[in-house]
Amino acid sequence: MTVSSAPGKVYLFGEHAVVYGEPAVPCAIERRARVTVERRDDDRVRVNADDLSLDGFTVAWGGEGDDAPELDVPTNLLEAAMGYIDGAVAQARDAADAPDAGLDITVESDIPLGAGLGSSAAVVVAGIDAATRELGAAIADEALAERAFQVEHEVQDGQASPADTFCSTMGGAVRVQGEDRRRIDDVGSLPFVVGYDGGAGDTGELVAGVRDLRDRHVFAADTVEAIGDLVREGETLLRGEDTPLDELGGLMNFNHGLLSALGVSARSLDSMVWAARESGAYGAKLTGAGGGGCIVALDDSEGSKTALDYTPGCEEAFRAELDTDGVRRES
């Protein structure tokens, strides 16, 4: 039996623009997905995932005559989740040169699914790592991040960025721009507060919407480039000896405004952003694809957490420190 875990993430800056070659700075947070894998004696794959839908699910597939999993919950609840797990299994089998290996897989996660906190990336990273090691092979972190990205890229119909999977694999604060992916060293404390509205945006639809807007309007393309310029300024601040939280927060506020202009915010997200700002946060913005899900605030006081607890539409609020660990080999 082999166990790996990987962290979720928030975007300090740069979501959506990163799809077009601009830089982004995602940061790993101390909420994790954990995947346990045990090899079977046959070629079947059995998945228990209590945390990947409202009621969880158990799926088994493989073996003679099985063309698809037998599902015990509605298909639309499982298509995305099973796509990620199926892709992780395929990548692990390929890495270990064991195309017919059977596996029992258990997925546990304390990252809200589809909320913009990188739950799918964390599951895929941890899943590939645990399954590959269970099959007797080793995989370097850089190769793990690339394989995990290939899974997300396929499941999300080519709309995915490598930022989520790279951040989940490496941990800490990272900079991603095209093929240039690296950790940002010596980042100081980043006191995050996350607000979650209980919903989830459709990542593919939101990314496609930004693409359409960018293709039709020069000002939308300029907005995407402005986000990239903002990220570069924010990265410079992160690399300084003392992290100026007020300046970082100001850039977060600006970033949220630009994302709103691109049509990816939502009333619930805006309400949480303003609640955090008005309670004394240095800055706040949506994180992830948008359309619903989470916001992230920068606040070293209790103000924004308390305000979010009482904000209509905020289902959960929690503090989330920067997680300097990436994928963790637990057994």
Residue positions annotated with a catalytic role:
164
319 by DSSP, 3-state: which?
A: strand
3-state class (DSSP) for residue 297: strand
H-assigned helices in 44-140: 75-95, 119-134
CB within 8 Å of 282: residues ≥ 6 apart? 245, 246, 248, 249, 250, 252, 297, 298, 299
List C-alpha distances in Å: 126 to 164, 165, 250, 327.
13, 10, 34, 7
3-class secondary-structure state, position 39:
strand
Residues 6+ positions from 188 with CB-CB distance below 8 Å: 242, 243
Measure the CA–CA gap between 227 and 314, rounded to whole angstroms: 26
- Between CA 208 and CA 212 the distance in angstroms is 6
Residue pair 314/272 in contact (Cβ under 8 Å)? The answer is yes
Q: Are strands 45-49 and 103-109 parallel, antiparallel or unpaired?
A: parallel
